[in-house]
Amino acid sequence: MVARKRSKRARGASLRVGDRVSFEFGAGTVKGVIIEDRGKLGFKGAQLFTVRVKRTDAEDLVLEIAADRLNAA
């Protein structure tokens, strides 16, 4: 059986806990992992996710980010 490739998901669509994502932060782009789906708690019902960004020089960074700012990594 031939494995099918997953199509790229639309930006912010069907992201789930455990997905790797990237987003603009400061002067660059960072990568992280979704650790919690907060629901539609954002401005005008925007979907929010809690994202953990691993850092080598300090503690992990945990942020709440709107789904429309996240890109599947």
What is the number of domains present in the chain?
A: 1
Within-domain flag for 2: no
* Structural domain includes residue 46: yes
Mean pLDDT of the chain: 87
In a domain, 4, yes or no: no
Has residue 11 been placed in a domain?
Answer: no
| Cα–Cα distance for residue pair 18/28, rounded to 1 Å | 22
Q: Is residue 54 part of a domain?
A: yes
10 lies in some domain: no
Q: Could you tell me if residue 56 is inside a domain?
A: yes
Domain with 25, as residue range(s), is 20-72
With 90 as the cut, is the pLDDT of residue 12 above it?
A: no
Q: 20 has which bridge partners?
A: 33
Mean pLDDT of 66-71: 95
The stretch 7-13 carries a mean pLDDT of 49
